[in-house]
Structure 1
Amino acid sequence: MSNNEIVSKVENDRVLVLERVFDAPRDLVFQMFKEAEHLKRWWGPKGWEVPVCTVDFRPGGVWHYCMKCEDKNQGQFYGMESWGKGIYKEIVEPETIVYNDYFSDAEGNINESMPSTLIKMEFIEVDGKTKLVNRSEYVSAEALKTVMDMGMMQGITETWNRLGDLLASLK
């Protein structure tokens, strides 16, 4: 697996496993996920910014954010907002983050009509680099298909590319 390449597979028809190696120490990669100031710099696909981001990084704490399309070249998406909410279940620094991920509104109310996800992220040190393994478990194969059809793979690829660029700039 080379840098910038995401390896993906589906397990049991409803678990999406994504892996990528980042050329940065594990502590630094982990830190990028725990502080709002960092997340605002890279979270979301290309052309999207994060004007709102609050993080209470502890089990039971909430991560609430808004992604907004600022790229006029994205046509119908320009100006669109997408709100999300994570509720942390388990945190082991700098190894693991487990949280429930939801679509939400600006007040943090969960959108029950959209699929939720149980996400487990593992940060594995490999020769001074970090292998990030992201397991996203959906309630059904249909729920996974819904987010895939929404362009989730392109979105996560662009998001992780932005993270990789930020990490490279911090080295």
Structure 2
Amino acid sequence: MSNSAMVSRVENDRVLVLERVFDAPRELVFSMFKEPEHLKHWWGPKGWDLPVCNLDFRPGGVWHYCMKCVDESFGEYYGMESWGKGIYKEIDEPDTIVYTDYFSDAEGNMNDEMPSTDVTMQFIDLDGRTKLVSRSEYVSAEALKSVIDMGMMEGVTETWDRLEERLNAVK
């Protein structure tokens, strides 16, 4: 267990910074973001699976995925699909991943109605543990507020909890 809760803060009204320490080596934590076989086990909040995970992990490459609600107790959300698309800008293994994240459809067309996010993820070595810092920049304070209002904070917290479970299962 990480014994470390996620820490969050907002900078400049449009940048969300999330931090959490994982009790796993940096290279392993980084691999969780670059290998589809790992992502399929933990990406998404509790009760959601990743039935589609097409990943071209390189600068200019695309990650196209689908999260699907598989928990009947979620009522109206059961069976719902949420598609996303990331376009990688920079990868410095095992230190940094920079990408732009979009809402999309099943064909990979970006949803211009929803805010995109410029994401920088840093993987900081802490003598065998890893501090993950995610910095998400939105075009406006309103765009950031809209994703927070959609439940993004709860979703990220549950997703990182699932990441921790996956790390514990494979280390």
How would you bin the TM-score normalised by the shorter chain? Answer: over 0.9
Work out whether 1:127 is the aligned partner of 2:127.
Answer: yes
Work out whether 1:38 is the aligned partner of 2:41.
Answer: no
Query: Structure 2: any 5+ residue segments left out of the alignment?
Result: none
Provide the TM-score with structure 2 as the length reference.
0.98
Equivalent runs, 1:66-85 vs 2, <5 Å? 66-85=66-85
Q: How many percent identity over aligned positions?
A: 75
Q: Which amino acid aligns with 1:110?
A: M
Aligned length: 170
Distance in structure 1 (CA, Å) of the matches to 2:156 and 2:170: 21
How far off is 1:4 after superposition? Answer: 4.2
What does the per-residue CA deviation read over 1:97-131, in whole Å, with 9 as the maximum and x for residues that have no partner? 00000000000000000000000000000121000
- Residue in 2 that maps onto 1:157: 157
Distance in structure 2 (CA, Å) of the matches to 1:138 and 1:82: 19
- Is the partner of 1:31 in helix, strand or coil? helix
On the 8 A contact 1:3/1:20 being kept in 2, the answer is no
Query: Structure 1: any 5+ residue segments left out of the alignment?
Result: none
Instruction: Give the ranges of 4+ consecutive aligned residues of structure 1 lying more than 2 Å apart after TM superposition.
Output: none
- Residue in 1 that maps onto 2:87: 87
- Is the partner of 2:24 in helix, strand or coil? coil
- Is the partner of 1:113 in helix, strand or coil? coil
Q: Which amino acid aligns with 2:131?
A: K
How far off is 1:3 after superposition? Answer: 2.8
Provide the TM-score with structure 1 as the length reference.
0.98
Aligned in 2, Cα 1:158/1:4: closer, same or farther, shift over 3 Å? farther
- Is the partner of 2:73 in helix, strand or coil? helix
- Is the partner of 1:33 in helix, strand or coil? helix
Distance in structure 2 (CA, Å) of the matches to 1:169 and 1:87: 29
